[in-house]
Structure 1
Amino acid sequence: MNGQVSSPEWAGDIFSVYDQVLSELFWFLAGFGVIYLIGQAFLVPLITHVVRSRNRNNPTIETAVKTYLRVLLIGFATLTGIIAAGYGRVLSESAVIIAALTFAFGIAGQQVFGSLISGMFLVADPDFNVGDWIEWPGGSGTVEAVDFRVTRVRTPDNETVSIPNTELTSNAITRPYGRNTYRITEQVYVAYYEDAERALLELQQTAATLESALGDPAPNARLVELGENAVTIQAEFWIDDPRDRDMVTIRSDFRRAVKRRFDEEGITLAPPSAQLLSGELTVTERRTESSAPSG
């Protein structure tokens, strides 16, 4: 009958469409897979080896190059798959598609591209390397890797924190452990009626007897502030290679030693209250005789 398609012809059209879709999918996967596998097996290891041999003292560049190579490899493999599937001409000749893709990537990938650029700046910074201890407004820890979007940092609690690269580049970063030695400062509050010079001497000698303190530079002590309720004195001593030491334990040991030594020397630390009362209180007992009742 006119206007109707027979069942064999309809089924043939369906199979033809599926055959075309499967063929395009096959060629896309083939083009993507070949490029990706070759890149992962040969290109990425080769370039990483070259970068490692030229930057043995900077593991940051090695990890960053590996991350960025993988991203570029996925993008190139995807483009190859599209061309292999027969859509290369569409992408090259259609200005509408190119404009739409550009707009979509510009909106959705703004933060991603910002993190990528920030990560590149971190990698290029000679004072920012994997293995460094850093402090930023959100915390502190050791840099483990600079990735495509985030920087991984291991905290003192042995937790791994992923920090957006943009946060590190837009805030001040402190590297307290950037050299072979590190200075520890500890403040002590002493009561006003104590001899400040004697307290300074005892504080300096306590720092000098600490096992982890270096002899050069020698520990010292200084008077920092004449506060409202106490005299603030400060001890300064140096330790070596702080990244291999337990900073919390070192500070705790020093504070315990100061408390013990000041107790032995009779030096009073600042009282916890704002006023220190002194004096004595005498209590006297007063007896009164009562008159006898009249009978």
Structure 2
Amino acid sequence: MSSQLTVAYERFEQLGNEALRLLPGLGIAIAVFVVFLVLARWTRTAVQHLNARRFQHNLVIVLGRMAQWGIILLGLLLAITIAFPSFTPANLISALGITGIAIGFAFKDIFENFLAGILILINEPFRIGDQIIFGAFEGTVEKIETRATMIRTYDGRLVVIPNAELFKGSFIVNTAFPSRRLEYDVTIGNGDDIAVAKEAMLGVLARLPGIEPAPAPDALVLGYAANGVTIRIRWWIKPPRRADALDIRDEVLCAVKAELTRNGIDLPYPTHQVLLHDQTEPADGNRLRQREGWPPQPDQPGK
């Protein structure tokens, strides 16, 4: 029993001596790590300040945080090598290499969205405040994070779209350019004068405020149909936001209808003619004499 106590005492004494031997290095390592923490915070502020005018706000924040964590990681590796001289960064890298594969498989979607978010923030296909269409969703970009992009729909709902889907998919940016073209198809009667209808509609587009004079509005004949002639009117607006587009579209359609009516231009709609067979005629059943629809006339067979 006494021999076991002696062995235990010697073991504890050895551990104590080892701890005392590592204590100076541990103190220096802690001091070095604290210095790197301060340096990391200063680096984040400097990176954000230098890039504030070059990139959008979210990307500036991400770049600052990445620089900060890079400095912290470097300080941690240096502090570990100072505190434990036998432990080298190569040992840590080899250990991280094994666990990194497992982490990569487990968090594949997270890393993919993070990488896609960084690329979106760098390439800037759209910015906060832009109005975009992605699949069945349309709205204003409220926030671009490293994991997802958030848009606010026009009816006040929030849509969260993973950045990987947004980066790999196709989307429309309605506000990418300062102006935008709108169009509407108007059908006039087949007997109406096309030139008069065009002149009336272009006159309306030229008078309405909010329509850009250049490029000038135009009216194009698209084709003929049973119910009339289809003319497409096109005009440009600035800015290209949806609220402005809806307002000016309402003004255009109301004014065009009133002007066409004032000029005697018909606005037809599809109609169907139903012919009823009069089965009281003597010729009923005789396909050579039977007529479809109208009552028999005195000068026609079947009266």
Q: What is the deviation of 1:36?
A: 6.0
Match of residue 275 from structure 1:
272
Within the candidate set 97, 100, 103, 2:101 is matched to 103
1:67 aligns with 2:65: no
Q: What is the deviation of 1:112?
A: 1.9
Provide the C-alpha distance between the structure 1 equivalents of 2:206 and 2:274, rounded to a whole number of angstroms: 35
The structure-2 alpha-carbon separation of the partners of 1:94 and 1:125, relative to structure 1 and needing over 3 Å to count, comes to closer
Worse-superposed segment, 188-197 or 73-82: 73-82
Q: What is the deviation of 1:210?
A: 1.5
1:47 aligns with 2:42: no
The structure-2 alpha-carbon separation of the partners of 1:125 and 1:96, relative to structure 1 and needing over 3 Å to count, comes to closer
Q: What is the deviation of 1:92?
A: 5.3
Secondary structure, aligned partner of 1:114: helix
Offset from partner CA, 1:233-265 (integer Å, 9 cap, x none): 111112222249622222122222222223333
Secondary structure, aligned partner of 1:242: coil
Backbone CA RMSD of aligned residues: 4.2
1:208 aligns with 2:226: no
Q: What is the deviation of 1:80?
A: 5.8
Within the candidate set 109, 112, 118, 2:110 is matched to 112
Q: Is the 8 A contact 2:40 2:72 kept in 1?
A: no
Provide the C-alpha distance between the structure 1 equivalents of 2:34 and 2:247, rounded to a whole number of angstroms: 53
Secondary structure, aligned partner of 1:275: coil
Provide the C-alpha distance between the structure 1 equivalents of 2:33 and 2:241, rounded to a whole number of angstroms: 44
Provide the C-alpha distance between the structure 2 equivalents of 1:91 and 1:239, rounded to a whole number of angstroms: 61
Provide the C-alpha distance between the structure 1 equivalents of 2:237 and 2:184, rounded to a whole number of angstroms: 13
The structure-2 alpha-carbon separation of the partners of 1:125 and 1:102, relative to structure 1 and needing over 3 Å to count, comes to same
The structure-2 alpha-carbon separation of the partners of 1:228 and 1:171, relative to structure 1 and needing over 3 Å to count, comes to farther
Structure 1 alignment gaps of length 5 or more: 6-28, 283-295
Match of residue 217 from structure 2:
219
Match of residue 250 from structure 1:
248
Provide the C-alpha distance between the structure 1 equivalents of 2:31 and 2:214, rounded to a whole number of angstroms: 65
Match of residue 138 from structure 1:
136
Q: Is the 8 A contact 1:31 1:77 kept in 2?
A: no
The structure-2 alpha-carbon separation of the partners of 1:166 and 1:94, relative to structure 1 and needing over 3 Å to count, comes to closer
Work out the percentage of aligned pairs sharing the same amino acid.
Answer: 25
Secondary structure, aligned partner of 2:261: helix
Match of residue 168 from structure 1:
166
Secondary structure, aligned partner of 2:173: coil
Provide the C-alpha distance between the structure 2 equivalents of 1:100 and 1:166, rounded to a whole number of angstroms: 26
Q: Is the 8 A contact 2:228 2:268 kept in 1?
A: yes
Within the candidate set 192, 196, 214, 2:194 is matched to 196
The structure-2 alpha-carbon separation of the partners of 1:30 and 1:238, relative to structure 1 and needing over 3 Å to count, comes to farther
Q: Which has the larger radius of gyration?
A: 2
Counting only pairs closer than 5 Å after superposition, residues 15-26 of structure 1 correspond to structure 2 as: none
Q: Normalising by the residue count of structure 1, what TM-score does the alignment of the two structures yield?
A: 0.66
AA of the residue aligned to 2:45: P
Structure 2 alignment gaps of length 5 or more: 6-29, 276-293, 296-303
Offset from partner CA, 1:253-284 (integer Å, 9 cap, x none): 2222222223333323231x442689xx99xx
Q: Is the 8 A contact 1:68 1:148 kept in 2?
A: no
Q: Normalising by the residue count of structure 2, what TM-score does the alignment of the two structures yield?
A: 0.65
Q: What is the deviation of 1:149?
A: 1.5
Bigger relative contact order, structure 1 or 2, given CA contacts below 8 A and separation 6+? 1
